[in-house]
Homo-oligomer: A and B are copies of this chain.
């Protein structure tokens, strides 16, 4: 099996195992659509219970979707990693019924830290927010691997 194929299989195994334990995504209806080494794409439909005091989608759910895509992408190499800090810029509001997609891509790795950029767009391709996450690698791995 090629190294590339092996890395892809590992990323998919990590994605399945993380999602199995990931109560938040199941609770909010966040779907993992694709995972690759250093990459994840997730989707959320904005429900009526996700509205804030101004009648728009609460920024917390947009953040949660982006933060989830960040988590899957930075764990895709099967080295456990957690968020140390994040920034989000809100560009346009989201509304009930919108289907939001977050695409996470690895931008830099340095020692045990990583930088990931996440774009969030709605069903029309309009960009809703941009997110940047900084990860920190910790002990452990998500799936058991043999002879490695």
Interface pair B53/A22, CB less than 8 Å apart: yes
| CB of A52 within 8 Å of the partner chain | yes
How distant is the Cα of A59 from the Cα of B61 in the complex, in angstroms? 11
| Nearest B residue (CB) for A132 | B132
Interface pair A64/B61, CB less than 8 Å apart: yes
Interface pair B21/A53, CB less than 8 Å apart: yes
Interface pair B50/A60, CB less than 8 Å apart: no
Inter-chain contacts of A17 with B (CB < 8 A): 53
CB contacts under 8 Å to B, within A81-115, are 82-93, 107-108, 110, 113, 115
Interface class of chain A by DSSP: mixed
Inter-chain contacts of A65 with B (CB < 8 A): 60
Interface pair B87/A132, CB less than 8 Å apart: yes
How distant is the Cα of A59 from the Cα of B136 in the complex, in angstroms? 14
Chain B nearest CB from A41 CB (Å) reads: 16
Q: Which of A21, A23, A117 has the most chain B CB atoms closer than 10 A to its own CB? A: A23
| CB of A33 within 8 Å of the partner chain | no
How distant is the Cα of A49 from the Cα of B27 in the complex, in angstroms? 6
Additional A-B contact list (5), CB under 8 Å, known A17-B53, A21-B54? A23-B48, A58-B64, A59-B64, A59-B67, A91-B110
